[in-house]
C-alpha cells in the first residue's frame, strides 16, 4: 500500500472534517445500534492513517464503541493513538493508555481503541485474516480511490458476510476547480486523473471512479447506499494546503507527461503567483458513501 506522511494527513484533516457530509453520518447513526457497555458498537477503520476518521466519527456515533485501527505503517498507528489521546484530553475527556490501546471516557461517548498493523494491499495480506465486526461498522476515509475494483468487490463480499454497515468518506471523484482559471488547468487535471489510475499497492487503482464502483459493488451484495459530495473548499488563506496540492498535481502531471515538463512547470508558477497574491481558490471533489443491509 502506498504511504502518506503524518504531516500531509495532519494538514488535510481540518479540510476533511469541514467537507464531510454530516447528514449521511446522522442517517448512518439511525441505521446502526448505539453501543452499550454490554454490547459495544464495533468499528473497523481500514487504512486509518493518523486516526482522523476516528476523531470525526466517534463523537457523532455516541454510546460505547470499540474501534480497531488498521494500517500498514506502525508510526502512523502510534501517531493515531497519541493525537487522539491529546485531542480527547483537550475536550475534557479521561484518557487511559495501556501499550497499543487507548480508552477514552468522554461525556458523550466511551471509546476503546486498538491498533492492528497490517498491509491491506495486494502485495500484503490484503483482506485475508481481517476480522470484520458482525453487525458492526466498517469505515475508511480517502481509501477507495486507491484500491482496485477486484479489491473493492472483495471488501463488499467480506462486509456482506459480516452483515456490517459501511461508511466510506472522501473518495476523490476527478473534479477540481481552480480560481482564477488558467488555460492549462484542464490539461493538468486530466493528467493527474490518469496518474490516479496507477497501482497504489492494490492493483490498478479506481481513482475518480471509486464512488461509483463502491455503489455498484455494495448494491450487488444487497446493500442500500446513499452518497453525497464532500468537496474540499480551500481559500486564499490556506496557503500550505494549496501549495501541497499544487506541488502534488505538478509532480503527477509531469510523471504522466514528461515531454510537457517545462510547460507544466510554467503552469505551476502561474498558479503559485495567484496563491502569493492571495487570490487563489481551489475546490476538489470528493464523495461520501454509506451503506447498510
pTM: 0.95
- Check: CB of residue 43 under 8 Å from CB of residue 68: yes
pLDDT > 70? residue 72:
yes
Q: Can you give the pLDDT at residue 130?
A: 83
pLDDT in tens, 98-138: 988 999 999 999 999 999 999 898 654 567 778 898 999 99
pLDDT > 50? residue 94:
yes
User: Does residue 249 or residue 1 have the better pLDDT?
Assistant: 249
Residue 76: helix, strand or coil by DSSP?
helix
Q: How far is the C-alpha of 114 from the C-alpha of 232, rounded, in Å?
A: 30
pLDDT > 70? residue 207:
yes
pLDDT > 70? residue 246:
yes
- Angstrom CA distances, 189 to 80, 134, 280, stand at 32, 41, 16
- Check: CB of residue 197 under 8 Å from CB of residue 168: no
Residue 46 C-alpha cell reads as 481500514
Instruction: For residues 276-287, give the mean pLDDT.
Output: 98
- Check: CB of residue 168 under 8 Å from CB of residue 214: yes
Q: Can you give the pLDDT at residue 1?
A: 46
Q: Can you give the pLDDT at residue 123?
A: 55
Amino acid at each position: 500500500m502506498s504511504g502518506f506522511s503524518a504531516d500531509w494527513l495532519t494538514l488535510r484533516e481540518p479540510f476533511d472534517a469541514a467537507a464531510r457530509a454530516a447528514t449521511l453520518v446522522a442517517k448512518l447513526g439511525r441505521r446502526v445500534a448505539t453501543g452499550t457497555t454490554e454490547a459495544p458498537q464495533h468499528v473497523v477503520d481500514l487504512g486509518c492513517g493518523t486516526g482522523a476518521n476516528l476523531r470525526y466519527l466517534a463523537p457523532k456515533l455516541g454510546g460505547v464503541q470499540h474501534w480497531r485501527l488498521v494500517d500498514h505503517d506502525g508510526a502512523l498507528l502510534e501517531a493515531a493513538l497519541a493525537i487522539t489521546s491529546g485531542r480527547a484530553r483537550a475536550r475534557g475527556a479521561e484518557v487511559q493508555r495501556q501499550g497499543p490501546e487507548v480508552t477514552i471516557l468522554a461525556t458523550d461517548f466511551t471509546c476503546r481503541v486498538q491498533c492492528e498493523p497490517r498491509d491491506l494491499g495486494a502485495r500484503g495480506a490484503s483482506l485475508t485474516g481481517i476480522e470484520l465486526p458482525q453487525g458492526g461498522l466498517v469505515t475508511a476515509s480517502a481509501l477507495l480511490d486507491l484500491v482496485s475494483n477486484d479489491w473493492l468487490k472483495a471488501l463488499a463480499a467480506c462486509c456482506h458476510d459480516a452483515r456490517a454497515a459501511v461508511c466510506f468518506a472522501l473518495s476523490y471523484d476527478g473534479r477540481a476547480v481552480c480560481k482564477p482559471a488558467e488555460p492549462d488547468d484542464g490539461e493538468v487535471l486530466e493528467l493527474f486523473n490518469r496518474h490516479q489510475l496507477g497501482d497504489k499497492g492494490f492493483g490498478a487503482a479506481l481513482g475518480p471512479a471509486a464512488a461509483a464502483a463502491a455503489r455498484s459493488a455494495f448494491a450487488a451484495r444487497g446493500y442500500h447506499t446513499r452518497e453525497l459530495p464532500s468537496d474540499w473548499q480551500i481559500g486564499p488563506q490556506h496557503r500550505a494546503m494549496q501549495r501541497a496540492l499544487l506541488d502534488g498535481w505538478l509532480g503527477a502531471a509531469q510523471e504522466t507527461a514528461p515531454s510537457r515538463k517545462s510547460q507544466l512547470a510554467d503552469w505551476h508558477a502561474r498558479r503559485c503567483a495567484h496563491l502569493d497574491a492571495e487570490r487563489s481558490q481551489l475546490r476538489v471533489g470528493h464523495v461520501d458513501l454509506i451503506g447498510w443491509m
